[in-house]
Structure 1
Amino acid sequence: MPTQSTSKQLWRDVQVFDGLVQLSEAMTVLVEDGRIAGLWPAREFNEAHAEGAACAGRGGVMTPGLVDCHTHLVYAGNRAGEFEQRLEGVSYEEIARAGGGILSSVRATRAASEDELIAASLPRLDALLADGVTTVEIKSGYGLTVADELKMLRVARRLGQLRPVRVITTLLGAHALPPEYAGRADDYVSLVCDEMIPAAAAEGLADAVDVFCEGIGFSPAQCERIYQAAKAHGLAIKAHAEQLSNLGGSALAARYGALSADHIEYLDEAGVRAMAEAGTVAVLLPGAFHVLRETQLPPIELLRQYGVPMAVASDANPGTSPICMPTLMANLACTLFRLTPREALSGMTAQAARALGRLDLGRIEVGAPADLCLWDIQQPAELAYAVQAGRLRQRVFKGEVVYAR
């Protein structure tokens, strides 16, 4: 992997998308000691501004490093057989109720060692990095025992040590009801609240806690118990909500100050209003919508009307979005959900960072961490317009050029 290391680097004549908007003219960007130290219109740049800086690049489009704010990257096995089943007419819910779906991944993941999970997950992570990701959220949720959930979280942390990427971890113990707790969902929720969350917090393995609030997942009352436990241990809150039905999960999450509610295809206006009042980000997952061939669109116009920030993520997972190409998600967010290219790209940078509670990331502004991508394109909209690998010229992480082509 090519790397370039110097404390002071300069990019000249780049078109900049700063995480919210495209800047109107070619810019010069200075990075020093891992942070963005200067940002000038190229015509106003004075060489004295950056004395001693090495020129790291010229031309192209610069964006913040992409932030993939919702993934299930750590797992064993695959679910290609279920993909075939769905194409033959079996629904996602029918597969789940027959012991497939998430539970098939649980069986494979429980049987795998940490090293085996590392080996299985690294190629997926590498695919994200090759498409410009510098920060990735990784959820657990395929263990569903205290030991196996912690195992997944340890693997996620290790991935961040093995590659130049920032890993944010989320405990998703309430992803599905494990078979040994069949008919005893409340008892399993007690395990999550009384043992799993305290253990993950004590070992510093989780940054947030997530739930699957759905008819085939957990009820709002059960999710609320988990939110209370997460709050008690100082962990942020996220939610899978309104993916298959409207149980009011997004509004519930918003009442607890959730960073985000994700999927939200069945979200109603009351839920949108609650998210707007709480500052909760709507995370759109067009990959799952596409793979499951869903038809219920998320309420994009309502989200715009109420000013709810919209993030876009890959939802990379073995069953419903086995896709590790975030720029494809930008295209799908536009073509399926009718986001504008600017909204889609902001959703993969500034708004995705907001969905992780990291307002310092996903922006190109003086003082921000220098997580950057330089692309061989003419304008930022091309990242959403075309589905094309190989456009990344440089990936910069914490001020270091960790990939260069």
Structure 2
Amino acid sequence: MSQVIHLALLGCGVVGQGVLTQLKIQKKLLKSRQVNFAITKVLVRDPAKYQDLAREHQLELVTDIQDILTDPQIDIVIEVMGGFQPAEDYILACFAAGKHVVSANKNLIAKNGPLLIATAQENQVAFYYEGAVCGGVPILRTIAQAYSGDEIFNVAGIVNGTCNFILSQMSQKQLNYQEALVLAQKNGFAEADPTNDVAGWDASYKLVILAHFAYGRKVALEDLKVAGIENVTAQDIKMAQQIGYRIKLIAETKKVGNAITLIVWPTLVFESHSLGQIENENNGVFVKSNNLGEALYIGPGAGSQPTSNSVVTDLITVASEMKLNITGQTFHSFDEAGTVVPQNELQKTFVVFLTKELLTTRQILATIKEEGFTVTFQELKDNGLALFTQRLSFNEVERLEKFIDGKAYPIFE
């Protein structure tokens, strides 16, 4: 006999509607898991906007969270409204009411994940959020399970589909940044206001969560060195291609002794490297560990279907725990001690691109040497020049950029 689990939905945007669509056809779930999910209530701000959807899916639209908290039939609440408030208050209230929560809210989890997890434990309810990172790539569950007995040294990836789509289009179609952004918006991969994505913040939220899982540590957004892709030019991409690199927005955390590094930055990746070959809205996460060595996990990272699929996977996990009466397990624990390398101590090897104007290559190199920098070089088409530095701090390379009027990119290592 199938088990009916009643759900409520907080928010009914792109992801919420994707969940509704996926749960409408549940033959596979009924056959393999003997579980039937039924969404009965949806919390929205403007019920008039969703009347057709409510009729199609037989939903009750509510505007007060109390209508969900006080409903004894509702077992699991799906939070896909996003943002910090009122989402955080609603999730905490659901925990207090004994309701399990599945979320895709990367912003909130990156900022206050440890608090939410501790509160869920206190109330012996489940809290899962696979959909918060990389859409259709089940990277959090993979790290939590496949690497549970392993030591991770490095996690790096393309974790923002919007940025990867824009950079891919700039490379493939020789578009400038603005043209590629407009195309991303037309295809539904970028918001009308794309700042959260293109400024690197979305990737930052995801990197915080990845660092939580990789190292079992609490880290803060303020610990990250962050830059977005707004200043990447078509000329930069052409120069990078001439030396065999692609420019990708890479979110990376490395273990250095007992400390970890945290960087989100437009980065040069060898075009032959697996990360360098990930195109358009797809995501990829590279993991290096003691036992498994190097592994790459690739999948779609933007759009409603990948994220809503992760949400449904979390629902199945909660349903299984409910059946076994073992709810209250943590998705991952944060009990490891350690430090974060300060931003002013972070070092990378860089390539600095510039266009020679009045000075020759020899004159430029002589001037750079006088300033105390050691570089090698490669001359490029159209009077371009690529300078390869030794390991430098971001402050040092910024000084070099200004000195020679160049543009520096770290190399993925």
Q: Kindly indicate whether structure 1 or structure 2 has the higher relative contact order, using CA contacts under 8 Å at least 6 residues apart.
A: 1
Instruction: Work out whether the TM-score is over 0.5.
Output: no
Higher Cα Rg, which structure: 2
Going by fraction, where is strand more abundant, 1 or 2?
2
